[in-house]
Amino acid sequence: MNKQQENITDENLQLLRASAAGDKQAFHTLYQLTHKKVYAYLVRRLQDKSLADEILVDTYTEVWKNAAKFRAESQLDTWIIGIARNLAMNRLKRQKYHDDIENHADLSQQENLQLETAEIQQIMHKAILQLAENHREILGLILLPEYSYQQISTLLDVPLNTVKTRVYYAKNALKKVLISMGVNDNDI
Amino acid sequence: MTSETQDLYDQIPLYINGSLSNKQNAHFKQQLKVDPELSQEYEILKSLQDDFSAHDSITENKSHFLFNQIEQNISSAEKNSSLFDAFKSWFYIPQIAWGAAAIQFALLVVIFANNPQQPSTQTYQTLSTVNTASTETRINIIFKSSVTQKQLINLLTPLQISIINGPSEIGLYVLAVNKNKQDEIFGILEQSDKVEFISLKN
């Protein structure tokens, strides 16, 4: 972690301590500084914005209630994402969650497809929806701004090499999905 | 794949999400130019990141709206918590606690004072203690297997018949009927479609 990141972490920690003491202004500031990353994680994992909204609200409610319990054994944003993750998993267990896979154009019949950027994005989005949830989660996490393998290791409570292995398998799974959608090697 | 190459592949998402140091960044950029497979892998994850970023952003308005909801949750939780705490704290006040104990004691005294334990004068008679030989006749009867308990009650109750024994293993009942009405009742039961077998008990 570089100096700037360390400073941010210290500031966030102070805001959390102030929140634990009942300072709502500090809590609001903490929210403003951290919620975008948490929201990004939830949307990437759930692919459902309204559900992500609900869980974000629940997450920060829990952060407020449990602010005094944070032991700084992990980084603060890892702790908050951990809360969001648990809430998301509990919610997904309670409801049958079906990925809404839209009718996409059957590209498999088209050979040597020349893809424009917008088409690539559309295909990639559909590919994400077809990914298994655990693959989607790990790719969503590793691509979060300034997030590291070590932080994911702490979040998921697995060894560092396990995280790297999971990322590897997730990438392969994504490639398989793209190929099954008719995207050829040159375009991958 | 060498471990150095593997490290490069591991660095792809970190390069994309801005986690690498300046030195690592520069090295990685150089490798992208000379390693087509690395470059291809990078393009996939870059597209993935572009899609994530296109969908997971949150507007300022929505941020405010969601924070308002968080504040409402917190206020509501604090309100409930303070009511509960206030209620709980009542019982930690010694005067209240002793008062509650005194009221419970007084209630117990009142209950026992109004319901003293007295020997019961109620007597009960069992069928075996009653000498019915002079006033009643015994009838042996077997009902059809399709007869329900409700039908049995509806049949016997209007006739003021008591079942004094049964059913046995073969479904035999012993009925007690008023001697004066013996013939009438016997006739009714004999005609009934619910009766399989009937006879006067000797």
pLDDT of A34: 94
Examine the pLDDT at A109 and tell me if it is beyond 50.
no
Give the number of beta-carbon pairs within 8 Å between A and B.
Answer: 98
Q: How far is B37 from chain A (nearest CA, A)?
A: 11
Chain A residues touching B74 at Cβ < 8 A: 24, 61, 64-65
Q: How confident is the model at residue B179 (pLDDT cuts 50, 70, 90)?
A: confident
Write out the two tokens for B142: 């077997």
> Average of pLDDT values for A110-126?
67
> Average of pLDDT values for B160-169?
86
Q: How confident is the model at residue B135 (pLDDT cuts 50, 70, 90)?
A: confident
Chain B residues touching A145 at Cβ < 8 A: 17-18
CA dihedral A66, A68, A71, A77 (to 10 degrees): 60
Number of Cβ atoms within 10 Å of the Cβ of A63:
25
pLDDT of A55: 96
- Residue with the larger pLDDT of the pair B114 and A52: A52
Sheet (strand B172-178) strand order: B162-165, B172-178, B136-143, B195-200
Dihedral sign of CA atoms A71, A75, A80, A84 in order: negative
With an 8 Å Cβ cutoff, are A61 and B73 in contact? Answer: yes
Number of Cβ atoms within 10 Å of the Cβ of A22:
11
* 0.85 surpassed by complex ipTM: no
Examine the pLDDT at A60 and tell me if it is beyond 80.
yes
> Average of pLDDT values for A163-174?
93
Examine the pLDDT at A141 and tell me if it is beyond 80.
yes
Burial class (CB in 10 A: 0-12, 13-18, 19+), B1: exposed
- The Cα A97–Cα A47 span in angstroms is 11
Give the contacts of B68 (CB within 8 A, at least 6 positions apart): none
With an 8 Å Cβ cutoff, are A121 and B50 in contact? Answer: yes
Q: How confident is the model at residue A104 (pLDDT cuts 50, 70, 90)?
A: very low
Examine the pLDDT at A56 and tell me if it is beyond 50.
yes
- The Cα A107–Cα A184 span in angstroms is 10
Q: Tell me, rounded to whole angstroms, the distance of Cα B130 from its chain centroid.
A: 48
User: Using alpha carbons only, what angle is made at residue B186 by residues B182 and B191, rounded to the nearest 5 degrees?
Assistant: 155
With an 8 Å Cβ cutoff, are B70 and A60 in contact? Answer: yes
The model's pLDDT over B17-45, given as tens digits with 9 standing for 90+, comes to 988 899 999 999 999 999 999 999 999 99
Top residue of A33, A50, A124 to mutate, by most chain B CBs within 10 Å, is: A124
> Average of pLDDT values for A108-132?
70
Burial class (CB in 10 A: 0-12, 13-18, 19+), A67: buried
Q: How far is B5 from chain A (nearest CA, A)?
A: 14
Write out the two tokens for A29: 């500031």
- The Cα A169–Cα A139 span in angstroms is 10
- Residue with the larger pLDDT of the pair A3 and A37: A37
Chain B residues touching A49 at Cβ < 8 A: 55
Chain A residues touching B40 at Cβ < 8 A: 188
pLDDT of B122: 60
With an 8 Å Cβ cutoff, are A24 and B48 in contact? Answer: no
B47 → closest Cβ in A40, A120, A149: A120
Chain B residues touching A6 at Cβ < 8 A: none
Q: How confident is the model at residue A107 (pLDDT cuts 50, 70, 90)?
A: very low
Beta bridge mates, B174:
B140, B165
Closest alpha carbon within chain B to A186: B40
- A131: nearest Cα among B51, B70, B168, B19: B51
> Average of pLDDT values for B134-146?
87
Chain A residues touching B77 at Cβ < 8 A: 61, 65
pLDDT of A173: 93
- A45: nearest Cα among A119, A129, A113: A129
**Mean per-residue pLDDT of chain B:** 84
From the CA atom positions of chain A, what is the Rg in Å?
19
pLDDT of B79: 80
Q: How confident is the model at residue B123 (pLDDT cuts 50, 70, 90)?
A: low
The model's pLDDT over A34-55, given as tens digits with 9 standing for 90+, comes to 999 999 999 999 888 999 999 9
- A134: nearest Cα among A86, A180, A167, A175: A167
Q: How large is the angle between the packed helices A160-180 and A133-142, nearest 10 degrees?
A: 110
Dihedral sign of CA atoms B5, B6, B12, B14 in order: negative
Q: DSSP 3-state helix, strand, coil percentages of chain A (rounded to 5)?
A: 70, 0, 30
> Is residue B135 within 8 Å of B121, Cβ to Cβ?
no
Residue B167 dihedral angles phi and psi, to the nearest 5°: -80, 145
pLDDT of A5: 62
